[in-house]
Amino acid sequence: METTKITTAATTQTAQRRLPAPAEEPAPYRSPYDKRHEGDKIFGVDPTTLQCVEDNGFNIPWHLAKLRKILYAKSGLETAGIFRLAGSEARIGQMRRELNDGTFDEEKYIQENNVNNINNTATLLTRWYGAFPMRILSFLPSDFLDGTTDPLMASVSLPEKLCEPYRTFFLWLVEILLDVARVSDQNKMTTHNLAVVVAPILSPETENIFLSLAVTGQVILLMENYLNFRLEGDTV
């Protein structure tokens, strides 16, 4: 497991870099403006505008590194139902406000040694992904999402079909999911269970609810196959 290097804008040049906008961005369905994100500096904003740090080999928004640190502390990934069980709405709201006003201290949540903080953090992380103006997998070719391409074959090349910075966001999250799946004997979160949990936050949205459900089902297959494909590399 790789270590995390967290830096700040005050101490390194890394944190000064901002994520580049995709060179060629398609025009998938864009969610209507969500008033729940009004005035938010972290959630529901264009992710390319956020300040970045280096974390686990990826250049990602600074708050993701803080959330990841909580998940990995004190065997947090072994928490039963991680990413499936929701946390406390009150505490999640508190954490979100602290992220927005710059007072978030991950060490405080780690030292509390509260198993609920793992669920709070995992829920907050998935909500950030789900609040994207355009979901990450909106940038996949249409044949990946309509079932035209076999999901087993398509899953192998999944990251290659994403443009930056969405490829980086995707792969950073996948590394966490793989680490969770590696201890599924403890947390009960198999690759299938993880795929079911993350598919709704990664799948492109449409105005047609039935089409959205069909696409989400296809993304479940893609994600489960991709996670299994990556885990097979562990045994090679």
- Read off the pTM: 0.83
Residue range 212-229: mean pLDDT, rounded: 94
Q: What percent of the chain has pLDDT over 90?
A: 67
Averaged pLDDT score across all residues of the chain: 85
* CATH class of the structural domain 1-18+32-133: mainly alpha
Note if the bond before 165 is cis, omega within 30 degrees.
yes
CATH class of 134-236: mainly alpha
Could you tell me the end-to-end alpha-carbon distance of the chain, in angstroms, rounded to an integer? 16
pLDDT digits (tens, 9 = 90+) for 29-84: 444 444 455 668 999 999 999 999 999 999 999 999 999 999 999 999 999 999 99
What percent of the chain clears pLDDT 70, i.e. is strictly above it?
A: 83
Q: Between residues 159 and 113, which one has the greater pLDDT?
A: 159
Q: Do domains 1-18+32-133 and 134-236 have the same CATH topology?
A: yes
pLDDT score, position 236: 52
Map out the domains of the chain as residue ranges: 1-18+32-133, 134-236
Alpha-carbon distances of 106 from 6, 43, 98, 124, 131, rounded to whole Å:
12, 18, 10, 13, 22
Summarised one tens digit per residue, pLDDT across range 1-23 is 444 444 443 433 443 344 444 44
Both tokens of residue 56? 């686990």
Average pLDDT over residues 90-100: 95
Give the whole-angstrom CA distance, residue 192 versus residue 92.
26
Extract long-range pairs of 107-114: CB within 8 Å, 24+ residues apart. Answer: 109/70, 110/69, 110/70, 110/73, 110/74, 113/74
Residue that wins the pLDDT comparison between 145 and 15: 145
pLDDT of residue 8: 41
More confident: 89 or 21: 89
